[in-house]
Structure 1
Amino acid sequence: MNFRTALAVAATVALMLPVAAQAQGMDAKVESLKASLAASQAALRHYSWVETTTVTYNGEVKAVKQASVSYGPDGTLQKVPLAATPQAQAPGGLRGRIVAEKKAEMTDYMQSAVALVKTYVPPVPAKLAAVKAAGKVDITMPPGGGATLNFPGYEKPGDNLAITVDPATNRILGINVATYLDDPSQPVTLAVQMGQLADGTTYTATTTLNAPAKNLSVTVANANYQKLH
């Protein structure tokens, strides 16, 4: 190997080192995030809490319902209804049929929207790992602090799951999602605020879904966490 070749090899190695270090740092952050999610989900199985779902249409609250939530023995969420806003009496005749059809359409959309939330919150470690394995994860540093890991294509082509964590503790600070239901031209956004219980368990405090094309907003708030005995 002559001097020029050796110099070229050294330069190539020098250029590759930061890239390799960045890749290792990315792997470490994703693994820490997966571990944090798994630990919090395991801890939440020992709690019950109250979930309040508020549906807003055209800026007006249309429905509010509450449920007591806890994990069942099989690991699935169990919900017991607590309260709901009374339904207004629909008018009769043609106007009543139009109102009923519109209500049914919005109810279907709302149910689909709530189901969409569940595909992103809480994030599934296996899906995070799949995006990482595809080499799509990147890290940004938002002005407000923390580090944001972006997982494009997490659930659908063209979507993005952004998880902001505290770099020092790897605790999740917030989640933002850009996605859609059926039509990519009608975007849907999710904004998630995280909370922390006294024992350090991280939980989803508030999730707000906005569907501008439908003038629809769905907010799911979790509170009143109680340790099960």
Structure 2
Amino acid sequence: MDVRVLGDERVQLSFAGASVALLLGTNIVAGSITGSLLAAGAIGVLGARARDRNSAIGIIMASGLGLGVLFLALYKGRAANKFGLLTGQIVAVDTPQTTWLLGTSGVVLIVLAAIWRPLAFASADPDVAEARGVPVRGLSIAFMLLLGLVIALSVQAVGALLVLALVTTPAAAAARVTASPVLLPVLSVVFAVASIEGGILLALGSSIPISPYVTTISFTLYAVCRLTGSYRARRWGARRPTPQSA
């Protein structure tokens, strides 16, 4: 399952949902969550078969982006509000939105903890998992919904344009230094928290939005992990006995 591709179309509809909520004067977080859930449902309906999924993702991405831009063009309020949806403004998150963020985060963590073991099994070998009675399709839909919620939570803070840097780059960095099914998600969370917290602290002291800081920190962590992984691979390969020496 390609998180980057599936996540991209959720960003577009999450952005569209947040844009229409801004236009209507309702809760932006709720609109973003609604858009992400609609994207997950649309992928489940339109892309039931693997060969149909790519077409469905392309259609949803284009439609979501177009709707988001349309709703922002119709919005006649402060320009900073529009800019915040694209690049993120952590200082614009008020108390009601914080309540939505905390509540949805709790739901994501609880559901993820409940399905973690069968999800890991299905991700490692879906054919064997399905043969053993694991509901692979149901887990896939549940994972897509959780991913949509995570993206919706991130849009308000880091913006719709660069949210995938926070969703995928920490995981890619962790994968460069470990293959452990336990340590990899732990490191991913650590890298993601370091990126977002560092970006928030830097953004609070400047006029630059949070997104550039988050993506810079996230990419720096990835670069360090990639170099570390490459160094370890070369060193381990150099120490492996050759057939002649063995």
* TM-score bracket, shorter-length normalisation: under 0.3
Counting helix residues as a fraction of each chain, which structure ranks higher? Answer: 2
Report the TM-score, using the length of structure 2 for normalisation.
0.23
Larger of the two Rg values belongs to structure: 1
Q: Which has the higher strand share?
A: 1
Q: TM-score if structure 1 supplies the norm length?
A: 0.25
